[in-house]
Amino acid sequence: MPPRLRLALFALALACIAPALPRVIGAMPVFGSHPLPYGDIINRLAPVQRHVTNMVSAVNFDYRGFDTLGEEMMLMVAVTGTAVLLRGHRGESLTALPATVPGRRIPPHSEALVLTARWFAPLTILFGLYVALHATVTPGGGFQGGVIIASALLLLYLGEGYSGWRRFMRTEALDAIEGGGSAAYALAGLAPMLTGAEYLQNTLPPGQLKSLLSGGLMLILNAGVACAVAGGFGILFVEFLEETRAEDPNQ
Amino acid sequence: MTVLPWAVCVWLFVIGLYGIITSRNYVHLIGCLSVVQSATYVLLLAAGFRWGAAAPIFYDHPPGTPAVDPVVQALVLTDIVIGAAVTALLLALALQLHRRKGSLDPEELRAMR
């Protein structure tokens, strides 16, 4: 379809919908002062029932834990699909050099950059672990912590360059972390069924309010999500950055 | 001012859709898809907002203080992470497309036989 025809169709659709838009916006609930029944129930019950202070984690890993299992599977499928698409035609050699464009040399890394990356990557990982571990207490959780940990891997890439970075990024380990995290989430749901409870029902002791060990089953699910997200994004980084390699001359 | 959040998410949705429709490059199209997606984040967070309420974290203030809706925040939180992974999948598709056809322009691509 030519772009002008598409644009004309878009304009036509917009002309049909536009008169209704003010009415729809006008019929929306008053911003900031309308009842939030479901949220209020969670806010009231979660600190009492589950002894957690972070309501968002309580929704993610307990009250709507089954939905998060679906999100978990989506993440795994997206990462697997990316790996399958990109891994297709290249070799798996670990020591391949980064590709170069004729006439443009790769400049040597400045010592300041290497030092900064080596300092900040472990600190970023530490911060990611802190955010992930405090899921049930303060703002944070496996999703956020996992992404922060994964971003530290990119910092290391900045500092070490492709060859040095790829040498310690073991895809087997990343695959195991990603799949292990997802499996831990799915299997932790089965454990309560051994005692006659329902799938993903939180039957573990809830612990003390404001304690790092509060939340029962949420802690296991949260750890699974943190591993799956950190490993999954690590795989994505490896797959995309392997695209910058030089072609293997032996192939 | 109470109309502004709803208007913002309509604007984000429409401008992203316009970008998708007029796009001449798949990478640009994927970026526009992310703009459309962020319209849903604005909609969800605006739906869960409440004036004068705190974050739904009862660490510094005791349980029972008015707080915003944690359900929509949980939805947005998971969706941002999953959305990033799905964007990576789409970019991988675009990369393979460029390798096979040498172009990222939707107009220059013919249906596969």
pLDDT digits (tens, 9 = 90+) for A20-67: 988 888 888 888 888 999 999 999 999 999 999 999 999 999 999 999
Query: For A85-110, what is each residue's pLDDT tens digit?
Result: 988 656 566 666 777 778 888 778 88
Point out which residues pair with B67 in neighbouring strands. B54
Q: What integer pLDDT is reported at residue B112 of this predicted model?
A: 58
Interface contact A147, partner B, CB < 8 A: yes
Interface contact A15, partner B, CB < 8 A: no
Neighbours of A93 (CB within 10 A): 12
pLDDT band at A154 (very low <50, low <70, confident <90, very high): very high
Which of B9, B17, B42, B58 to substitute to test the interface with A, most A CBs within 10 Å?
Answer: B58
Integer Cα distance of A64 and B45 in angstroms: 18
pTM value is 0.90
Q: What integer pLDDT is reported at residue A223 of this predicted model?
A: 95
* Average pLDDT by stretches of 10, chain B with 113 residues: 87 94 92 96 93 90 90 93 94 90 82 60
Q: What integer pLDDT is reported at residue A32 of this predicted model?
A: 87
ipTM > 0.85 for the complex? yes
One DSSP character per residue, A106-174 reads PPPPPHHHHHHHHHHHHHHHHHHHHHHHTTTTSS--HHHHHHHHHHHHHHHHHHHHHHHHHHH--HHHH
Integer Cα distance of A251 and A93 in angstroms: 11
